[in-house]
Chains A and B, each alone.
Chain A
């Protein structure tokens, strides 16, 4: 009964490839997020969706495209992968009715070679 799940947990791929990371939450939350933790361990917001609509896009390259088929799912597709995309990507979710706490998935470690 995992609250926020991500697949895959590890992803190793070559430069130039296209890959997707999937995220699902069973908390009944309306808002979902993608964060990136880089090699210096900084956690930074990338995108946020509320009820399938994009509400935050933090100057992320166009090669990154989030997709929310329904409010329980938020997937991240990355085109033409670059070495600098290597990082841990975390999905998170939250309520929108005055609650700020976000609940995170276990992360996907992406390694681009």
Chain B
């Protein structure tokens, strides 16, 4: 029973264009939402997060959008750069210092 799904296993985007990664969840108890980036043979690296009281958070080229009614989270990267090529995981939490429930991951490839 996968509570958190990223329905696109892979995504290819041209350099300079926008990358949009999506994440859907089923449990309405999740109240904090994070995005992680993972390169091969490395651990996940925290990118950006948003709490359930907001619907948008922006940090440089990265913006996270939250639609609580649709139970949908998205990450926008603009402009996309070749160094953004990695696997992106959404991760959801139900409380402070609680476990993270990870999505299935989306492999982003940014082409020249």
Residues of A whose CB lies within 8 Å of any CB of B are 4, 30-31, 33, 41-45, 48, 50, 56, 58, 90, 92, 94-107
Using a CB-CB cutoff of 8 Å, which residues 32-66 of chain B contact chain A? 32, 34, 36, 41-46, 49
B93 adjacent to chain A (CB < 8 Å): yes
Chain B residue contacts of A106, Cβ below 8 A: 41-43
Give the 4 A-B CB pairs with smallest separation, nearest first. Answer: A104-B43, A45-B99, A43-B102, A96-B97
Q: How far is the CA of A50 from the CA of B100 in the complex (A)?
A: 15
From A43, A90, A92, A100, B96 is in contact (CB under 8 Å) with: A100
- The answer to whether the Cβ of B104 comes within 8 Å of any Cβ in the partner chain is yes
Given A58-B99, A99-B96, A101-B49, 17 other A-B residues pairs in contact with their CB atoms under 8 A: A4-B43, A41-B87, A42-B102, A43-B102, A45-B100, A48-B99, A50-B97, A56-B99, A97-B96, A99-B97, A100-B34, A100-B100, A101-B34, A101-B46, A104-B43, A105-B43, A107-B42
Cβ contact within 8 Å between A43 and B89: yes
Contact of B100 among A30, A99, A102 (CB under 8 A): A102
Cα A19 to Cα B103 in complex, Å, equals: 29
Tell me how many residues of B have a C-beta within 8 Å of chain A: 22
Write out the residue numbers on chain B whose beta carbons fall within 8 Å of the beta carbon of A95.
97
| Complex CA distance for A30 and B96, rounded to whole angstroms | 12
CA distance A77 to B43 in the complex (A): 20
Query: Which chain A residues border B41 with CB–CB below 8 Å?
Result: 106-107
Q: Can you name the residue of chain A whose Cβ is closest to the Cβ of B46? A: A101
23 CB < 8 A contacts A-B: A4-B43, A31-B97, A41-B104, A41-B105, A42-B102, A42-B104, A44-B102, A45-B100, A50-B97, A92-B43, A96-B96, A96-B97, A97-B96, A98-B96, A100-B100, A101-B34, A102-B100, A104-B36, A106-B41, A106-B42, A107-B41, A107-B42, A107-B43
Cβ contacts under 8 Å, A92 to chain B: 43
